[in-house]
Structures are given as C-alpha cells and as structure tokens.
Amino acid sequence: MSLSRRRGFTLIELLVVIAIIAVLIALLLPAVQQAREAARRSQCKNNLKQIGLALHNYHDIYNTFPAGYIDQGAQVTANQGHYSWTAAILPQIDQAPLSNIMNVGTVTLSQNLANATVRAAMQNAMPAFNCPSNAGSVVLNNADLPAANARAIQDTAAAEHQLPVSTYVGINNSAIGTRRNRGSAQDASTGANGTFSRNSRNGFRDMTDGSSNILVVTERAWQVKQTKMFSAVMFGIRDNTGGVNAVSEGNNDQGLVYALAAPVVSINVENVANRQGISSFHTGGAQALMGDGRVVFLSENMDANLDALVNSTLERLCAIADGQTVGEF
C-alpha cells in the first residue's frame, strides 16, 4: 500500500497569504480608529449632557446658574485661588462627598490646598469633566503648557499646587473685542454677555434669546495640532493680582484660561490666542452644551466674525440677550 505525500505551503503561497493579511489589517485599522474616536466622542457628549443636568438642577435649587467664578475679595491674596463654577456643581454631578470634604463656600480654595488630605482628594482624576479624546495629564503639569504659563494655584503658605485638568469651559463672552471695548476694568463681568462671568447670577430669566439658542459650556483642548494651549482646571482660578477689584482678565487672562471662554479666534485654530477660546481633539470642530440641555457639534467652519460687534453665528450663540436670530449652524 502506497502512502500519499502531504503537500505543504510553498514559500510564494505563504508570502501571498501574509500580504493579503497585511492589506486587510491596513484597510481595517482606520475603521477601528474611527470607531474608537466615535466612542470617545459619544462619551464626551454624555459628559456634557451630565454637566447640563447638573447645571439645571443647580438652577432648580438656587434659581440661577453658578457664577463663572466667585471673587472672594480680601479672603484671597495674589496667586491664591477663587472657586469656579465646576466646584459649585459638584453635589449635582454625584460628587457631594468631595464637595463636603472641600467645604466649598466656607473654606477658601487655597486653604483646602494647604491641607494635604483635602488636596489629595481634590487632585484625583475627574472623568466627568474630561473629554476622553483630550489625551494629556490627569493633573495639569507644566509639560502640557506653553512656556512660562503654569496653571498652578498657591496655598496659604505660598506653595504651588496643580489641580486636575478640565476640558470643559463656561461661555463668558461672544468675543474678546466686546469685553475689552466696554468699560475700563477689563474683567469677567464688565462687558461680558455670556452665561458665566465673575460673580454672575444669570438664570433662564436672563436668557432672553431663548435657552435653545445659547451656548453654555464648550470644549477646550490642551493642544491644537502642534501648538500647546491651556486646558482649563477644576475647582478654581488663580488670582494674579490680589484685591477685590483687581481681578483683570484683560491683562492676566485669569478666568478665561482657567474656567471660562471667549472665542478669540475661530474654533480649532492653531494659535496661542486660542487659549481663551474653543477647541477640541475632535476632527472638524468641538462639542458644546446649549442652555436647554442639548449637546451640539460646532463646526470649525462656522461663521465667526470675531470683533467688537455681535455679528456672526458663533457670537450670537455665545451672547444670552443680543436679540438676534441665530439661524442654522
């Protein structure tokens, strides 16, 4: 009885199979990457929806949205911290234990930073305030910032401490020109026409354009293309000057780089001036929360004539009472 010979793969056949597998991987990899980005974008959208619910719940309790940040006056000296809107809504976003530990509103931000136990709790990652596409440090560090622009806040002993990154900022103004051309204080309240400003108490009653036509919170990436920007930070801003009336964002960018936004340039523009504006790691634009709780995608090609007048789609969306029709965007 004769035995049949077993035939194996030839070298050419093996190379063909490997080449086919390589081509399939090359075709599938972009699809996998797109699917992952779609999932991250969906999570970012959900984060903004949760922030929207928290803001609405806060409004139900206090009949106003939280202040963009609270100027605590003589309680805070230069380089120490003022609480921002993200600290105010901690109980409404399932972070009541942290809010209780921090004792927001009674103990100053810098007093909390001086307490090692409280500071450790504050420096934990905050996924609800971070877009998963915005890859970077959990706790802000100087490596993720342009040179000489650290976002640290001093404690009561003048020690510098970093806070967790936040990629979501409240809308302060429709354009930087509006803020700088009205009044001499150049702060977050003089000339501001957005939902959030220094010591603001804006509510639905103030949104005369209709909450469905107003941007409330949007994204800011720590880097756009190859240019480093400024991620916002959790809980507060740094007072660079000290004093009740000396918080000057026109000169020091305080609230606008830590917690708030005014579109200085169009969305996702690679320009360090965009440190005060709107940007994201999403291709083509950035996501934003509207006053009625909807989350929309803002195209980076949106009409944005950013000057001292409210005369473009982006500016009309940011202003809460400009009286103009927004239209499609």
**Confidence (pLDDT) at 248:** 36
Strands 260-261 vs 168-171: parallel, antiparallel or unpaired: parallel
Complete edge-to-edge strand list for the sheet that includes strand 295-299: 260-261, 168-171, 215-219, 285-290, 295-299
Q: What is the mean pLDDT of residues 296-320?
A: 86
Alpha helices in 134-248 (DSSP H): 176-180
Q: What DSSP string describes 85-118?
A: HHHHTGGGGT-HHHHHHHTBTTB-HHHHHHSHHH
Pick from 166, 144, 280, 169: nearest CA to 234: 166
Amino acid at 217: V
Q: How far is CA 130 from CA 2, 81, 224, 240, 309, in A?
A: 71, 21, 16, 25, 32
Secondary structure (3-state) at 40: helix
Dig out the tokens for 41 from the structure: 């974008």
Q: How far is CA 246 from CA 50, 185, 198, 322, in A?
A: 34, 8, 12, 28
Q: What is the value of pTM for the model shown?
A: 0.82
For CA atoms 157, 162, 164, 169, the dihedral sign is positive
In our burial notation (b when 16+ CB lie closer than 10 A, e otherwise), range 276-298 reads bbbbbbbeebbbbbbbebebbeb
Give CA–CA dist 157/172, Å, rounded: 31
In the 8-state DSSP scheme, what is residue 24? Answer: H
Instruction: Give residue 246's pLDDT band: very low, low, confident or very high (50, 70, 90).
Output: very low
pLDDT of 118-171, one tens digit each?
999 998 888 889 888 876 556 655 455 544 445 688 889 988 888 888 899 999
**Confidence (pLDDT) at 57:** 96
Q: What is the mean pLDDT of residues 93-109?
A: 91
Contact 135, 113 (CB under 8 A): no
Find all residues with CB under 8 Å of 143, minimum gap 6, and list them: 137
Q: How far is CA 13 from CA 8, 16, 17, 61, in A?
A: 10, 5, 6, 72
Question: Quick count: other Cβ atoms within 10 Å of Cβ 18?
Answer: 10
Pick from 76, 123, 118, 125: nearest CA to 100: 118
Contact 54, 89 (CB under 8 A): yes
**Confidence (pLDDT) at 126:** 86
pLDDT of 45-95, one tens digit each?
999 999 999 999 999 999 999 999 988 878 888 888 899 999 999 999 989
Strand-pairing partners, residue 185, are none
Percent of the chain beyond pLDDT 70?
79
Which residue's structure tokens are 């910032």? 145
Dig out the tokens for 49 from the structure: 């929806």
Give CA–CA dist 244/71, Å, rounded: 7
Pick from 197, 193, 217, 198: nearest CA to 280: 217
